[in-house]
Structure 1
Amino acid sequence: MSGLLALLDDVAAIAKVAATSIDDVIGQASKAGAKAAGAVIDDAAVTPKYVHGFEAKRELPIVWKIAKGSIFNKLVILLPAALLLSAFAPWLIPPLLMLGGAYLCFEGAEKVQHWLSPKHHDVEEAASKKMSTEDSAHLEEQKVQGAIKTDFILSAEIMTIALAALETDSIWFEAAALAVVAVGITALVYGAVALIVKADDVGVYLAANGSTIGTRKFGEVVVRSMPGFLKGLTIVGTAAMLWVGGSIIVHSLAEMGWHGPEDGIEHVAHLFAGENGFGNWLVKAVIDGVLGVILGMLLIPIVSSIIAPALRALGLGGSKKGAH
C-alpha cells in the first residue's frame, strides 16, 4: 500500500511539473506573440486583398486555403528552420530576413507603381473583364499561392521576433512556445480576415432581417461602407508591406554590424517626437516605409529584366498577374 501511495505521489509531482511547464510555455508564447504584434497586424491587413473580386461563396474557402498554407509555413517550414538556424547558424538569420524584406518592398512598390500609372484604371477594368471569362478555379489557385508566398515572409518575421523574445536555452521549450505562437497567431489573423471579408454579407442580412430599425440601419451602413473599407485596407496592406520590408532590412543590417541606418532613424525619431512612444514609432514607421518604396522601386527593373526571366528559363516562374 505504501508503494502505491509513493507511486501516486510521484505521478502527482510529475503532473505538477508538467502543468508548470505548460504554463511557462503559454506565458512565454504570449509574451513572444505580443512582441510580434506589429507583423501580425500587417499580415491581417495584407491578406483580404487576395479574396477581392471573387464570388461571396468562395471568400471563406479561399481564406481557409490561405490559413492552411500559413500554418504549414509556420509549423512545417519556419519552426524547424528557426530552431536549426538558432542552434547552428544564427549568423544566417539576418541575411535571410533581408531577402524577405526585399521581397516585401518589391511587392509593395509594384502596387504603388500600378496606382501611379495613368493607365491604371484602364488596366484594372480590363483585368476585371478578363477575370469574368478566365478559368475561375485557376485564378483562385494563383491568388491563393500569391497570398501564401507573401504570408511566408510575414510569418518568417513573426516567428523570428517570437524566437528572439523567448527566454530559454531549451530547444524543446522553444519549439513548444513557437508552435503555440504559430497556431494562436494564425487563428487570430485569419479569424479577423474571415470577419472582414464577410462583414458585407452580415450587413445585408441585418439590413433585411434586423428586428429593430436601428439594427437594419446599422446593416445598411455596414454594406455602404465596406467597399471603401476594403479599398482602404488594401492601401494599409501595401503600406504595411513597405514598412515591414524596410524595417526588416534596417534591423537586419544592425544585427550584421552596420548600425548607422537604425541609429540614424532613431535619432530623427527622437528629434521629431522626443520621448513620445507612439510618435517615435510613427516617425520610424514612415522612414522605414519610404526606404521600402525606394528599395522596391529600384528592385522592379532588376526583377522584371533579370530575375523573372531567369526564373522562367529555369521553369520556376509563374504568372505574376495571377499572384497579385
Structure 2
Amino acid sequence: MATGLVALLDDVSVIARAAAASLDDVGAGVAKAGSKAAGVVIDDAAVTPGYVTEFTPDRELPIIWQITKGSLRNKLLILLPIALLLSAFLPWAITPILMLGGLYLAFEGAEKVIEKLGGAQHGETLETPVEDIAAFEKTRVSGAIRTDLILSAEIMAIALSEVADSSFLSRAAALAVVGVLITAVVYGAVALIVKMDDIGLHLAQKESRAAQSVGRVLLRAMPKVLALLSTVGTLAMLWVGGGIILHGLEELGLGYPAHLAHDLQHTVEAATGALGGALGWVSYALASALVGIVLGTVIALVVHLIAKVRGTAH
C-alpha cells in the first residue's frame, strides 16, 4: 500500500511538473505574441471609437459591450479553431486569407477617405436623419465587429507564428489567452476614451478647483481627441491593410513592393539619428497606407460601379 502510494505521488509529481512546464510555455508564448501584435492592437483601439462616438452617452457603453462580445466570439469561436486547423492541415492558406482581410480593411479605409473628400456616404450617419435608430445601431455594431474580425485575424496570425513550434494544446491555450487579454485591453481603453467627456463633466461639477480645472480641460480636449482618433482609425485601416498586403506578397515570393517600403524605412532611420526608430516606423506605415489607399480606392470604385449598374438595371 505504501509503495503504491509513493508511486502514485511520484506520478502526480511528474504530471504537475509537466503541467507547470506547459504553463511556462503558454506564458512565454503569450508574452511574445502580445508584444509582436502591439501595433495591430493600437490600430484596433484607434478604429473602434469611430463606431461609437456619434451615439448618445447612455448608449455608448452598451454598444461597446456588444462589440466586445462580438470580438470575443470572433477570436475564440471563429478565429481560434480556424487558426489551429489551418496551422495543422493548410498552413499555406493563412497568408492568402489574411491578404483578403487586408483588402477589406483597405476598402473600408478608402471609403471613409472618399466620404471625407465629399463623396457618397458609405451607409447612414447620425449627421443625416435616421429613420430607425435601433437598426442603425445594429448596423454600426455589425460593422465594428466585421472590422474587428479582420484586425483580430491579424493579431491571431501573429500570435500563431510565435507559438507555431509549441504543442497543439499549448498553441490553443496561448491563442485563447492572447485573444481574451487583448480584447479586454482594447475595449477597456475604448470605453475609457469615449466616456472621458462624462468624467470631465463630473469633475467640473466638483467643489475642488483642481478637479474643476481637470474636468474643463477634459471637456475641451475630448472633441479634438475623438476627431483625431477618427482620423487615426481611418489611417490605421489603410496602413494595416496595406501592410498585410505587402507582407503577404513577400510571403508569396513577390517581395519587391515590401523591399521598397523597408528600404524607405531604413533610409529614414539612417538619416534621422535618435528619432530614426520612430520616424522609420512612420515612413513604413505611410508606405503601407499608400498601398492601402490605392488598392482600396480601386476596390471602392469597382464596388460603386457594380452598385450603379445594378441600380440602373432595376
Fold shared by both chains (TM-score > 0.5): yes
Corresponding residue number in structure 2 for 1:64: 65
Return the offset for 1:4: 2.2
Report the 3-state secondary structure (helix = DSSP H, G, I; strand = E; otherwise coil) of the residue aligned with 1:130. Answer: coil
2:212 aligns with: 216
1:7-18 correspondence to structure 2 within 5 Å: 7-18=8-19
Q: Which runs of 5+ in 1 are unaligned?
A: 314-324
Cα distance in 1 for residues equivalent to 2:73 and 2:14:
36
Aligned-residue CA RMSD (Å):
2.3
Partner of 2:144: 147
Q: How does 1:159-178 map to 2 (within 5 A)?
A: 159-178=156-175
**1:124-181 C-alpha deviation (Å, 9 max, x unpaired):** 99852413xx222111111100000000010011101111122524222111110111
1:308–1:143 distance in 2 versus 1, CA, 3 Å = farther
Q: What is the CA-CA distance between 1:10 and the residue it aligns to? A: 2.4
Q: Which residue among 190, 195, 200 is the counterpart of 1:198?
A: 195
Q: Match of 2:85, as an amino acid?
A: L
1:283 maps to what in 2? 283
Structure 1 residues 195-226: Cα deviation after superposition (integer angstroms, max 9, x where no partner)? 111111111111112x5211111011111111
Structure 2 alignment gaps of length 5 or more:
none
Runs of 4+ with >4 A deviation: 123-127, 307-310
What is the TM-score with the length of structure 2 in the denominator? Answer: 0.91
TM-score (norm 1): 0.88
Query: Which string of whole-angstrom CA distances, capped at 9 and with x for unpartnered residues, describes residues 71-129 of structure 1?
Result: 10111111111111112112211111111111111111111111111898xx9998524
1:29-66 alpha-carbon deviations (Å, 9 max, x no partner) = 12111101110000000001111221111111100100
Deviation string 1:225-283 (CA, Å, 9 cap, x unpaired) is 11111011000000000000000000000001111111111112222322833232111
Q: Distance in 2 between matches of 1:64 and 1:9?
A: 47
Distance 1:308 1:90, change over 3 A: farther
SS in 2 for 1:258: coil
**Alpha carbons 1:101, 1:244 under 8 Å: kept:** yes
**Correspondence for 1:41:** 42
Q: Relative to structure 1, is the Cα distance of residues 6 and 307 closer, same or farther in structure 2, using a 3 angstrom cutoff?
A: farther
Percent identity over paired residues: 52
Aligned partner letter, 2:229: L
From the superposition, tell whether residues 16 and 219 of structure 1 become closer, same or farther in structure 2 (CA, over 3 Å): same
Q: 2:260 — aligned with what?
A: 264
The one-letter amino acid of 1:201's match is D
Corresponding residue of 2:32: 31
Q: Give the Cα separation in 2 of the matches to 1:80 and 1:124.
A: 32
1:3 positional shift: 2.6
The answer to whether the 8 A contact 1:66-1:147 is kept is yes
Distance 2:222 2:14 in 1: 55
Residue type at the aligned position of 2:9:
L
- In the alignment, the residues of structure 2 paired with residue 279 and residue 10 of structure 1 have an alpha-carbon distance, to the nearest angstrom, of 56
Match of 1:302 in 2: 302
